[in-house]
Amino acid sequence: MAIDYQEKIPNNVDLADDRRLRRALERWQPAYLKWWEELGPVESGDLDIYLRTAISVEPDGWANYGHVRMPDYRWGIFLAPPEKDREIGFGMHKGEPVWQSVPGEYRSELRRLIVTQGDTEPASVEQQRHLGKTCPSLYDLRNLFQVNVEEGRHLWAMVYLLHAHFGRDGREEADLMLQRHAGDPDRPRILEAFNEKTDDWLSFFMFTYFQDRDGKYQLASLAESGFDPLSRTCRFMLTEEAHHMFVGETGIARIVERSCQLMREHDTDDLRAVGGIGLPIIQRFMNFHFSICLDLFGQEKSTNAANYFTMGLKGRFQESRIDDDHKLDGAVYCVPAVEDGRIVSQEIAAITASNERLRADYTRDSQRGIDRFNKIIAGQGVDFKLALPHAAFNRGIGAFAAIHATPAGEIIDEARWNRRRDEWLPTDADKDYVNSLMVPVTEPGRMAGWIAPPRRGIHGQPVDYDYVRFH
């Protein structure tokens, strides 16, 4: 399905034939551009950036690469191709044709799902808006801006659904997307992880590894939806989300590689004197980002999640590949709980455990990257292993919110937590040190001293290509 770039708002949803919807979106567009100018990447408007722009929604040959100014980037609305005779794959409506319009009885639940997902997209742009001023290379600067423009387009995707299917309520929700801001004490973003600071590149790579991976699992669950416009929207968003996780995983891997090189070159574990990021600091940043992302999945036992599944609005990850009745009648699932000061496994109705199953899928996926980082460390001959912390560590939502636990999963009292938390979470000194390394490097091919170069460039270009051109 080709995308019509002749329209003011590029799209493949026939906006030209729906004048009312087109006018509504065109009225929203100036507010979006104003938001981008005020809260998007700082001091970036005059840069020519080697960006990827979607030109089709087909799997092959879907993107074009070229130097573009971000204010000229063509944000738009792109849905994956429809599947002929697609049926709802789970819940009480399993086997029925998918819905092309919002079922009236599920209107508020669908709107809530779309708004919560949509709110994360501009939030991440706001969190990352100052990073361009401290880029470790032009390669990384380009990747940051690619992530930013695609998060902006993902916001457009959710706003389209609100405008197209929810009338006045949808338009009001779309306006609120631009009025909440990451970290704003009065009007914060909906999910707490999207109010945290992301003011250094180690945090950015952790963000794109962990938070964007949460995005992958949330979008994949929504892509199962019986509401077909939401499913098609999320299926195309997943294509772009994969790049964001690539940026995070390769970024962390390159920092790990460079840290090991510096340890060997200088025969020291303390890299502060030589301008590197020590592996224990990387571990503490990892502990923080992974734990706050576990909270994004919600309660282990959730009536809301059960309702979404039963209604056919939000499925499980890769629902069609799961070998069960897809209705979960009488099925059970084990979730963690705390009883008498111990972490135990508790059997509950599987239909109420959708959040926990998704969190488990996410954890397994996250671990694969940690295994790859540890192979880099072992290959450099360094005796250190990175590890994901236990699910009970540093949690603010769910069964573990009321306790303190070590990264190994040992429940401890508050006094011991306060004495030892600086061993496990980034300290102010860690953050200050990492920030002290954030000195921009903008000569093509050069890298900051704390990160290794990438294995290859972007879209066949060399690593020393001028991915960002300054004027």
Tens of pLDDT along 378-412? Answer: 999 999 999 999 999 999 999 999 999 999 999 99
pLDDT at residue 63 in the model:
85
DSSP string, 264-319: HHHT-S--GGGT---HHHHHHHHHHHHHHHHHTT--SS-HHHHHHHHHTSS--TTG
Q: What value does the mean pLDDT of the chain take?
A: 96
The CA-CA-CA angle for residues 209, 215, 221, to 5°, reads 135
pLDDT average, residue stretch 18-24: 95
Domain 15-469 has CATH 3.40.50.300: no
pLDDT at residue 334 in the model:
97
The pTM (predicted TM-score) of the whole model is 0.96
Chain Cα centroid distance, residue 160: 20
pLDDT at residue 56 in the model:
84
Contact predicate 392/411, CB 8 Å: yes
pLDDT tens-place string over residues 23-75: 999 999 999 999 999 999 999 999 999 999 988 887 666 789 999 999 999 99
Contact predicate 406/424, CB 8 Å: yes
Write the burial class of residue 120 (CB in 10 Å: 0-12 exposed, 13-18 middle, 19+ buried).
buried
In the predicted model, is pLDDT for residue 131 greater than 90? yes
pLDDT at residue 455 in the model:
96
| CA 446 – CA 77 distance, rounded (Å) | 36
| CA 72 – CA 31 distance, rounded (Å) | 15
| CA 109 – CA 240 distance, rounded (Å) | 26
239 vs 420, higher pLDDT: 420
pLDDT at residue 4 in the model:
80
DSSP 8-state secondary structure symbol assigned to residue 78: -
pLDDT tens-place string over residues 157-207: 999 999 999 999 999 999 999 999 999 999 999 999 999 999 999 999 999
pLDDT average, residue stretch 444-463: 97
Long-range residue pairs from 382-387, CB within 8 A, at least 24 positions apart, any chain:
382/260, 382/263, 382/264, 382/279, 384/279, 386/256, 386/279, 386/282, 386/283, 386/286, 387/283
pLDDT at residue 61 in the model:
65
pLDDT at residue 7 in the model:
87
Q: Which two tokens stand for residue 40?
A: 């998007």
- Name the percent of the chain lying above pLDDT 70: 99
In the predicted model, is pLDDT for residue 452 greater than 90? yes
| CA 251 – CA 245 distance, rounded (Å) | 10
Q: Report in angstroms the alpha-carbon separations of 276 from 79, 198, 210, 248, 267.
A: 43, 19, 22, 18, 13
> Could you give phi then psi for residue 359, rounded to 5 degrees?
-65, -40
Q: In residues, how long is the chain?
A: 471
The amino acid at residue 15 is L
pLDDT at residue 118 in the model:
97
In the predicted model, is pLDDT for residue 2 greater than 90? no
pLDDT tens-place string over residues 67-103: 999 999 999 999 999 999 999 999 999 999 999 999 9
- Name the percent of the chain lying above pLDDT 90: 96
Outline where DSSP puts E strands in 58-166: 63-69
pLDDT tens-place string over residues 261-291: 999 999 999 999 999 999 999 999 999 999 9
36 vs 3, higher pLDDT: 36
Outline where DSSP puts E strands in 22-127: 48-54, 63-69
pLDDT at residue 1 in the model:
63
